[in-house]
Amino acid sequence: MPRGPRLDAPGTLHHVIIRGIEHGSIVRDDTDRTEFLNRMGMLAKGSATSIYAFALMTNEAIILLKSGPDGLSAYMRKLLSGYAPYFNRRHQRVGHLFLNRYKSIVCEEESYFAKLVAYIHLKPLRIGLVESLEQLEIYPWSGHAMLMNKVRYDWMAREYVLRFFGGKESFAKKAYLAFLEEELKTDREQELSGGGMVRSQGGWSKVKSMRKSGAKARSDERILGSDKFVREVLKEAAGPNDVLPLAERVFLLSESIERACEAAGVTSMFLRSGSRSGELPSLRRTIAKMAVFELGISFAETARQLGVTTSAVSNMLKSES
């Protein structure tokens, strides 16, 4: 299936998950860990990206950040495309380092900020890299040590995070630690990293009650927040596919086909004839990308509009998926 567009408006809170390909290591020793964090921090400072929480494990990195003026994609592209060649050179390896693209979830700050900070910072403890909260406090590859003032990273927004828990630092740290201990009792993996509608609506009990009452809610696996928040983000970030019914999107596609054919100097009938002469294959590919990725139209309907098979549309978009 094709991937949907990223929700990448500047100033958006993102829960970012980076994994090694085939569960492989993205860091092998402290030199790698230092390099990864140095790059992460340097790029954050240079792009006005705010880092609120992070945890660096052997085959995974998790970051809570607010994107800068250039958006999340520009930041992540520089981070991953810069670190991977370093890692490959140092360890004399070739090939991809990271699993496909990173995963990013847009988050509703008011409802989820504290939970995400705790979830991310507790990750090294949950997977056994440290054995206690006391050890976690001095684990330098997680933002928790920074909040506890045990390590210093001038690129992490420490004060912003602590202010979420209290006005004075001493009180904020106590409140944060108390919250961490409570969160340690709860598994939020599905709620914060996956789950689609279940996550967006706050659990199965809420979803079941909504189904019984006939209520409808919007959900999206890329967004962590209330139904209202999901709708607002999609309306702002997307295009016609989030606010228009299918019939209207198909109408927009047919209009786009006519305009594209006119600009290319061919008829829409010729485009749908199956001919592969001249610029027709390139024109079909461009229209297919717009139909699927921007209008959210299915492969089958796109194929019908272009006069080709569904598998042909799939092949056109393989390089984009």
Asked: is 13-183 a CATH 3.40.50.150 domain? The reply is: no
**The model scores a pTM over 0.75:** no
What residue spans define the domains of the chain? 13-183, 194-238, 243-320
Helix (H) or strand (E) holding 75: helix 71-90
Task: Report which residue type is found at 198.
Answer: V
Task: Report which residue type is found at 113.
Answer: F
What confidence tens digit (pLDDT) does each residue in 134-174 have? Answer: 999 999 999 999 999 999 999 999 999 999 999 899 999 99
In angstroms, the CA 71 to CA 303 distance is: 33
Q: Is 192:116 a contact under the CB 8 Å cutoff? A: yes
- Helix/strand/coil for 223: strand
- Helix/strand/coil for 12: coil
Query: For the purposes of burial, counting CB atoms within 10 Å of the CB of 52, is it exposed (0-12), middle (13-18) or buried (19 or more)?
Result: buried
How many Cα neighbours within 13 Å face the side chain of 135? 9
What confidence tens digit (pLDDT) does each residue in 271-288 have? Answer: 998 888 888 899 999 999
Share of the chain above pLDDT 90, in %: 51
**Residue bearing tokens 């492969």:** 299
In angstroms, the CA 295 to CA 246 distance is: 9
Q: Is 183:115 a contact under the CB 8 Å cutoff? A: yes
55 against 291, higher pLDDT: 55
Give the lowest-confidence range in 246-250, 257-261, 292-296, 301-305. Answer: 246-250
